[in-house]
Amino acid sequence: EVQLVQSGAEVKKPGESLKISCKGSGYSFNNYWIGWVRQMPGKGLEWMGIIYLGDSDTRYSPSFQGQVTISADKSINTAYLQWSSLKASDTAMYYCARPARSGSATPPTNWGQGTLVTVSS
């Protein structure tokens, strides 16, 4: 069974750094892209970026380029989303998600459970 398990909820102060994770199991992690999606409170889904675990090829939405860093450690089947300096406006639920087909960055069919990030002074 394909599973994406994300790290737990975080409460941070503005200016702090943060790295959240998404661990895949039940499939060949290296052959898939993993995307990150933001959902601000009461709002819709926004695509942030995506990484291919085979060679770490990474793409970002223009809205998130320079604001976050997507990375991965294929030795432990884990993708990451990180911030160097959080803002209150980063408060949101963050999901990782995986396409149906290996090697293809098509819209996702499998989702993690989400990581709630709260940024407040």
Q: Interface with other proteins by CB under 8 A: which residues?
A: 33, 35, 37, 44-47, 50, 52, 57, 59, 61-62, 95, 97, 100, 105-114
User: CB–CB of 51/68 below 8 Å?
Assistant: no
Q: How far is the CB of 60 from other proteins (least distance, A)?
A: 9
Q: How far is the CB of 16 from other proteins (least distance, A)?
A: 26
Residue with Cβ nearer other proteins (55 or 121): 55
Residue with Cβ nearer other proteins (23 or 59): 59
Q: How far is the CB of 52 from other proteins (least distance, A)?
A: 7
Decide: helix, strand or coil at residue 59. strand
- Integer Cα distance of 44 and 2 in angstroms: 25
User: CB–CB of 32/102 below 8 Å?
Assistant: yes
Q: How far is the CB of 14 from other proteins (least distance, A)?
A: 26
Residue with Cβ nearer other proteins (27 or 47): 47
Residue with Cβ nearer other proteins (42 or 121): 42
User: CB–CB of 58/81 below 8 Å?
Assistant: no
**Span between the terminal Cα atoms of the chain, in Å:** 40
Q: For CA atoms 120, 46, 5, 103, give the dihedral sign.
A: negative
